[in-house]
Amino acid sequence: MIQKPIAGRLSLAAAAALGLFASTLAAPLAMAGECPKDQIAANAMAPGATAPEGVTDEVLASIDLSSKGSAWEGNALRLRKLVVQPGGIVPWHSHDARPANILVVEGTITEYRSSCKVPIEHKAGEVTAEFGELAHWWKNNGSKPAVLYSADILPPMQADDHAM
């Protein structure tokens, strides 16, 4: 049997498994719900809840970025798992100094964003990027827990490892 070189010298079976994994991983992901263009406005949504409720926040991994130069001094790259129970709340917070990518793995969750006049629904399989002039809060208005994975850069001024 002649094997074609795929990514070096992967066997045909390994290449097939890799392709299956990649297509399985890529297929369910989509950009998260967005604010309708006619609903975008500055300070469109007033600040919401200020305390977490019915949410667990587990730091799965954290990397101290200080060794990457003085510009990164005190920053950490972290991966968290958040489980938001029905009726649960991730409180109002901003992303001006803390960029994040959120993957909704299970359930649905509603975002109340400072730049949108209407709530935004996020479903399992969607990813949303959070950065810049964004402040918001989230609520699980569904009947099942919402499971989210958050990858963010925690700046030195937010030393609390569980800052929402």
| DSSP code of residue 4 | P
pLDDT at 27: 42
Q: What is the pLDDT of residue 25?
A: 45
Cβ-count burial 145-161 (b if 16+ within 10 Å, e if not): bbbbebebbbbeebeee
Residue 96's Cβ-count burial label (10 Å; 0-12, 13-18, 19+) is exposed
Tokens of 118: 């209407």
Q: What is the mean pLDDT of residues 27-45?
A: 77
Model confidence over 54-95: pLDDT tens digits?
999 999 999 999 887 788 888 899 999 999 999 999 999 988
Q: What phi and psi values does residue 128 have, to the nearest 5 degrees? A: -130, 140
**Which whole number is the average pLDDT over 40-48?**
92
Structure tokens at 120: 């935004």
pTM of this prediction exceeds 0.85: no
Report the distance separating Cα 10 and Cα 12, nearest Å: 6
